[in-house]
Amino acid sequence: MKYFLIATLFFFVSAHKVHAQNFKSELKKLNSEVKAAYRNKKLTELEYAKLQREQDVIQATIEKAQADDLMTPDEKNKIHSKIVRAKKKLAKYKTNREIY
């Protein structure tokens, strides 16, 4: 029973670790959401350009953090907060009904 609990705990910790550090896939998913929203006319051209620039900054931050093959918790937190901020902007822009 003890080994089963240890194995289960190890599985959950390793699964969480893999999910938490997969920033490139999160960025790719966000990029596809932005493109889909632009195609469906939910975003203006200006909003689309702003989100694309923000994704370029996030991509550069990821590459900079991975340059030394070691991501510190501070770098991970910064990247994660940039991705969360971009997702919030996308949600805000999609519900925005202003006409430019």
pLDDT range class, residue 37, cuts 50, 70, 90: very high
Is the pLDDT score of 71 beyond 60? Answer: yes
Measure Cα distances from 43 to 20, 48, 55, 83 in Å: 29, 6, 15, 18
CA distance 36 to 29: 11
Tokens of 79: 């990247």
pLDDT range class, residue 96, cuts 50, 70, 90: confident
